[in-house]
Chain A
């Protein structure tokens, strides 16, 4: 489906907003299923922070509820990494490490965005995400440098998610236009820092860096994996079935 072309600022808000929304929904799937009560609460907190970020970003891009609940899968602009299934706890942590490290480096730079909304948003969100990153680092190290089983699961979780990392650093025409206007931050400028930060955590966790795989791209253009449709079906069912429902 061809999406109506939108201006680079709105497109950028949608990308960041959809990242936060989809990852927030994914992480919230753990609610009531966490390996222990304390971890269940930690994960629910991460999810709530992300849904809060999505509310701000999508609310700035347009009608937030409409965008979240009444858009079809091909119109979502999130990266492929955030829609990947939770798998086990280690796979969830691997995905979170890879995303939240990127998000933290990005938000640090977006505090200096020429766009007032994005700069204020980044000032607020960067503190939340600093904690997400810290937690993902700690758990990666505990699992990687834990038992034989936890190390194997952590390595498998990283292996699953690794091929979606290059997309985080992809710059297309729309993003380039937002970068040129000082709204967006160029992710290529912090790719080296990202790679070295991840390498440091993996070394602390006594984990090998996963073998390079063929990158999978396309989420920013609406080419999603099968997993996103299932996620949206659960998330959108209620407001789509009962459009006038209030609570």
Chain B
């Protein structure tokens, strides 16, 4: 039966103010039951306050064969990290 059902990616917002994070996937015949399955599978231990489900087929993924050109050029550019500033002691929460 589940092989007939599409796959849905599940995103959970752990609490207000945080973004939804990908937690896994469920099979379900439609969006409403995908939400129910996501609720029952991924939020039974108070993990979240909000759920998104997205048809897995709608996710556009990068091509692993292009990983070289897409990601490796960032490797040698440490100056892109904001770690070259002296932060005054009075500034909190950085």
Contacts and interface: CB of A to CB of B under 8 A. Distances in A.
Interface residues of A, number: 14
B36 interface: yes
Interface stretch (B11-19, B23-31, B54-62, B76-84): B23-31
Interface of A: 35-39, 41-42, 45, 131, 134-135, 138-139, 142
B29 A41 contact: no
Contacts of A135: 36
Given A45-B40, A45-B44, A38 B28 contact: yes
Interface string B19-63: 000000011111011001101110010000000000000000000
B29 A38 contact: no
Contact of A35 (B1, B26, B33): B1
User: Which of B36, B40, B41 has the most C-beta atoms of chain A within 10 angstroms of its own C-beta?
Assistant: B40
Given A36-B2, A36-B5, A39-B37, 10 more contacts: A38-B2, A38-B26, A38-B27, A38-B37, A41-B37, A42-B37, A45-B44, A131-B39, A139-B33, A142-B33
Contact of B33 (A41, A45, A138): A138
Nearest to A134: B36
B31 to A, nearest CB: 11
B36 A36 contact: no
A135 to B, nearest CB: 6
Contact of B1 (A36, A134, A139): A36
Nearest to B8: A38
Contact of B40 (A38, A138, A139): A38
